[in-house]
């Protein structure tokens, strides 16, 4: 997150418009995440958790990697929309998987752990992104994040119940 403004600045945006463009691009993810969460929830009811975890984590990983190869700020708009669409699935999938696969006496603890890891990711992610951007360049933060999501996709594919 801290590197996102610096990343947008590399597209030679006028400093007058930088906060507005950065804010708009940043909020696109949240907006599309909210709207897509209900769609993902309905889809999970029809097709199950496994398939949707694979699709959502793959989509999110590919969209993060795509950030690394952008050369125009306007090309980020569809990338950020699709990233938000993939993000919208993550929490509903987590809660659905927990409610389906965890016994009722352990659900509270498992939900707490899942929520804690989301918070931890929101704290550690920007720090690691800042370090990678500082040592490897700004686009590396997106590339590494995308690779983490692709790793999650692979782990999910081989470890989750089909």
What token pair was written down for 66?
A: 């795509």
Q: What is the per-residue pLDDT for 82?
A: 96
The predicted-structure confidence for 85-121, as pLDDT tens digits, reads as follows 999 998 888 888 888 888 888 888 888 888 888 889 8
pTM summary value: 0.87
Q: Transcribe 137-162 into DSSP letters.
A: -HHHHHHHHHHHHHHHHHHHHHHS--
Which of 33-37, 42-46, 99-103 shows the lowest mean pLDDT across its residues? 99-103
Exposed / middle / buried, residue 3 (Cβ in 10 Å: 0-12, 13-18, 19+): buried
Q: What is the mean pLDDT of residues 38-51?
A: 88
The predicted-structure confidence for 140-162, as pLDDT tens digits, reads as follows 889 999 999 999 999 989 987 66
């Amino acid at each position: 997150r801290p590197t996102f403004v610096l990343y947008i600045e590399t597209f030679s945006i006028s400093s007058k418009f930088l906060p507005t463009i950065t804010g708009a691009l940043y909020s696109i993810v949240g907006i599309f995440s909210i709207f897509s969460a209900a769609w993902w929830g309905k889809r999970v009811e029809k097709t199950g958790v496994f398939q949707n975890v694979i699709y959502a984590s793959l989509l999110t990983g590919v969209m993060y990697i795509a950030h690394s190869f952008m050369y125009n700020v306007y090309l980020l708009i569809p990338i950020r929309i699709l990233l938000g669409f993939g993000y919208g699935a993550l929490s509903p999938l987590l809660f659905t998987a927990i409610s389906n696969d965890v016994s009722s006496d352990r659900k509270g603890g498992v939900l707490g752990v899942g929520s804690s890891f989301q918070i931890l990711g929101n704290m550690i992610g920007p720090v690691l992104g800042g370090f990678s951007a500082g040592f490897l360049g700004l686009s590396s933060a997106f590339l590494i994040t995308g690779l983490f999501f692709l790793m999650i996709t692979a782990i999910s594919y081989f470890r989750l119940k089909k």
